[in-house]
A and B are shown apart, each in its own frame.
Chain A
Amino acid sequence: MISSALGVWNYWVVFLLMMIGLFLVIGRQNFLKKIVGLTIFQTSVFLLYITFGKIKGGTPPILNNINETIYSNPLPHVLILTAIVVGVATTALGLSLVLRINSEYGSIEEEDISAQDLVDYHDQIETSKTVSIKFKK
């Protein structure tokens, strides 16, 4: 039982990274840390795909005229090249948004930002009345 569970240790690594990443995305209030979590989460998926494609004792898929060669499947690796590009684009866009948020709000903590937003929202709705408590910096 234990040996069979340890035999697939690479899946355990993927699983652990996936949970760490997802926890950071959900649990952290800091916008930058959320992006770090997202990157870890995506990386765990890359590892999952790469693990699928690798066979024990497999060689790169180049024909070598030896009959009983075991070839690794190259397709998951190619897919992950694409996914890495997508992940880089997502991270870049996310980081640039965080920069802009920081310059507009002066903070990247979710609590500060939602407090400021709440004030703005009520200002817009009740144009005649003023909100008594101001959280503004």
Chain B
Amino acid sequence: MTDIIIKNLPILVVLCPLMMSLFVVLIPNTFISWIVTLFTTLITFIFSLLLYQEVYQYSSISYALGNWIPPLGIEYVIDKVSIIPIIIITLISFLTTFFASKIMPAEINNSSISKVYSLWLLAIAGLIGLVTTGDAFNLFVFLEISSLASVALVAMGAQKDKQALVAAYNYLILGAVGATFYVIGVGLLYGITGTLNLADLSSRITEINDNRALVAGFGFMIVGIMVKAAVFPLHIWLPRAYAYAPSAVSVLLAATATKASLYILARILFSVFDISDTLITLTLTYVILPLSIIAMFAGTIMAIYEKDIKRLLAHSSIAQIGYITLAFAIGTKASVAAGFIHMFNHALIKGALFMAITSMSFYLNKRMTINTLSGLGRAMPITFSCFVICSLSLAGVPLTAGFISKLYIIKASISAEGVWIALLILASSALSVIYLWKMIEAMWFHEGPKDLVIKENPTVYIALLMITFLNIYFGLDASIVVNSSFEAADQLLGVQK
């Protein structure tokens, strides 16, 4: 029995949430549907931990779907690279589902809660599938599963605020255009190479040199994925979608959705195409590097001027995505590893910050803006302390997870490109302190309303405490994250550097 489970882990980790999402929609009771969802995400998380163990035993697992031998059939590949986003997605989805128990009924009608949980699982399944699959077209299907489910989830926010509909609409249109760009790219590459398997594709691409369709296909694929990953000029959908989605959904999407696409970006840049190729080197230095640097500053400055808290955090996400793509763009082993470290840590940090803000708006029952934050620090000591710790982590203060990732990014950039990138990173981090301080100042130093009495509910803050604990834990002992990221970068970039 356990043998069969171990053998089929790569498909189980996708199928478990996918199948359960069909089941959850049939459950009329809101509490039972929550329990089932929680249980499913827990099982998926356990599966992914088992996979982690397996991957470190065999270095790479290939699973032929329906026993069709790759590259003919669809192949699921789990290696030391893809296990990182899988762990991020399953861990965060478990914590967020745990957190959603009280939050979800406050914002969504009882009659539609089980449907929301069904979409929730579908989005998670899509994201995990995106990461596990080794087939370029299958990847597109999962891309669309996850993005259609997330669009529907964002639109559920319309029960509270009608702007969610427009946010969901923009997300849908831009997401669909991005996915279609990706399909055009895959089509062009298929026309040249005659294969859809990513590993096979990469070996056949090396045999072709100087083909214009190859360059066009690469460009379409990269732009399509960059829309999904919200890399700087293509980020327009992100702030609104995160701001007007139901709060629990914001937490889930902010922590996981862009991470999967960033992983795909890294996979296409480094594994399907070759890092030593001039095409990739040019793309990295002249497209992705400048865009990431602009993203770091543009996101931070937009966040400083923003008054709506959820939008503020979304703008800060754009800056953080900038750090990750910057690390990828430098393109050495150490910097790519740093990118993966920051991917993991940013999921923890942004998840925690969104959770803290969500709990505050849950008690006050209104949207959080800078004005409504006043006095909340004294009224909600537990949530406030978690918020402060995670803010410090975002700014990169020592002893928190954010410090580790900033440290590795800066170290890698100094050794590869010189001091100027490191200075830019430090400047952007210093700017991010402004908006973080603005929120903390409002919470602690501003006088709140006289009748502000809040009794904090353990079911709401336990998940927040857990994720804050992880933030501190990975700041004190980052060896697991750092080691697996370096192993991942080794496997991703091959042996040439």
Q: Of A75, A104, A128, which one neighbours B158 at CB under 8 angstroms?
A: A104
Residues of A within 8 A of B60 (CB): none
Q: Is A20 an interface residue (CB 8 A)?
A: no
Q: Is the CB of A93 within 8 A of B152?
A: yes
Chain B: which residue is nearest A89 at the CB level?
B148
Q: Does B137 lie at the interface of the complex (its beta carbon under 8 Å from any beta carbon of A)?
A: yes
Interface size on A, residues (CB 8 A): 38
Among B183-191, B342-350, B408-416, B422-430, the stretch that binds chain A is B183-191
Q: Please give the distance in Å from A79's CB to the nearest CB on chain B.
A: 5
**Pair B162/A104 contact, Cβ less than 8 Å:** yes
Interface centre among A48, A83, A127 (most CB of B within 10 A): A83
The answer to whether A49 touches B152 (Cβ under 8 A) is no
B367: CB under 8 A from chain A? yes
Residue B176 lies at the interface, judged by CB distance under 8 Å to chain A: yes
- Give CA–CA (A112, B308) in the complex, Å: 22
Query: Is there a chain B Cβ closer than 8 Å to A1's Cβ?
Result: no
Q: When the two chains form their complex, are residues A83 and B165 in contact, meaning their CB atoms are under 8 A apart?
A: no
Tell me the bound Cα distance from A38 to B181 in angstroms. 12
Contacting A25 at CB < 8 Å: which of B161, B173, B367, B372? B173
Chain B residues near A97: list those with CB within 8 A. Answer: 151, 155, 165, 168-169, 172
B372's nearest neighbour on chain A, judged by CB, is: A127
A98 CA to B165 CA in the complex, in Å?
8
What residue in chain A is nearest B169 (Cβ atoms)?
Answer: A97
In the bound assembly, the distance between CA atoms of A104 and B169 in angstroms comes to 14
Chain B residues whose CB sits within 8 angstroms of the CB of A10 once the complex forms: none
* 21 A-B interface contacts by CB (under 8 A): A25-B173, A25-B177, A31-B169, A34-B173, A42-B180, A48-B184, A49-B187, A52-B190, A75-B196, A90-B176, A93-B148, A93-B152, A97-B155, A97-B172, A98-B169, A104-B162, A104-B165, A117-B166, A120-B163, A124-B367, A127-B369
Count of chain B residues with a beta carbon within 8 Å of a chain A beta carbon? 35
B residues near A (Cβ < 8 Å) are 137, 140-141, 144, 148, 151-152, 155, 158, 161-163, 165-166, 168-169, 172-173, 176-177, 179-180, 183-184, 187, 190-191, 196, 307-308, 367, 369-372
State the majority secondary structure of interface residues on A.
helix
Beyond A22-B177, A93-B172, A113-B166, 10 additional contacts (C-beta under 8 Å) are: A41-B180, A76-B190, A89-B144, A90-B144, A97-B169, A101-B165, A104-B162, A121-B308, A124-B367, A125-B371
- A contact set with B: CB distance below 8 Å: 18, 22, 25, 31, 34-35, 38, 41-42, 45, 48-49, 52, 75-76, 79, 82-83, 86, 89-90, 93-94, 97-98, 100-101, 104-105, 113, 117, 120-121, 124-128
Residues of chain A within 8 A of B172, CB atoms compared: 90, 93-94, 97
Interface centre among B179, B180, B196 (most CB of A within 10 A): B180
> Are B184 and A90 closer than 8 Å at their CB atoms?
no
Shortest Cβ distance from B75 into chain A, in angstroms? 15
Contacts of A45 on B, CB cut-off 8 Å? 180, 183-184, 187
Contacts of B183 in A (CB 8 A): 45, 83
Question: Are A93 and B151 in contact, CB atoms less than 8 angstroms apart?
Answer: yes
Contacts of B307 in A (CB 8 A): 125
Most buried by A among B140, B187, B190: B187
In contact, B151 and A124 (Cβ under 8 angstroms): no
Residues on B with C-beta less than 8 A from A105 are: 162
Partner of B148 from A75, A90, A120 at Cβ < 8 Å: A90
What residues of B have a CB within 8 angstroms of the CB of A34 in the complex? 173
| CA–CA, A49 and B190, complex, Å | 9
> Could you tell me the distance in whole angstroms from the C-beta of B365 to the nearest C-beta in chain A?
14
Are A79 and B148 also in contact (CB < 8 A) when A94-B173, A125-B308 are? no
- For the complex, what is the distance from the CA of A137 to the CA of B190, rounded to whole Å? 52
Q: Chain B nearest CB: distance from A113 CB in Å? A: 6
Closest Cβ–Cβ distance, residue A37 to chain B (whole Å) = 9
Residues in A whose Cβ lies below 8 Å from that of B141: 82, 86
Instruction: Please report the C-alpha to C-alpha distance between residue A126 and residue B155 in the assembled complex, in whole angstroms.
Output: 25
Which of chain A's residues have a CB closer than 8 A to the CB of B177?
22, 25, 38, 41
A94 touches B184 (CB 8 A): no
**Nearest B residue to A101 by beta-carbon distance?**
B165
Given A45-B183, A90-B176, A93-B152: A124 touches B308 (CB 8 Å cut-off): yes
Taking each of B165, B307, B371, which has the highest tally of chain A beta carbons within 10 Å of its own beta carbon? B165
* B137 shortest CB reach to chain A, Å: 5
Shortest Cβ distance from B356 into chain A, in angstroms? 20
A residues in contact with B184, CB < 8 Å: 18, 45, 48
From B144, B148, B179, B187, contact of A48 by CB (8 A): B187
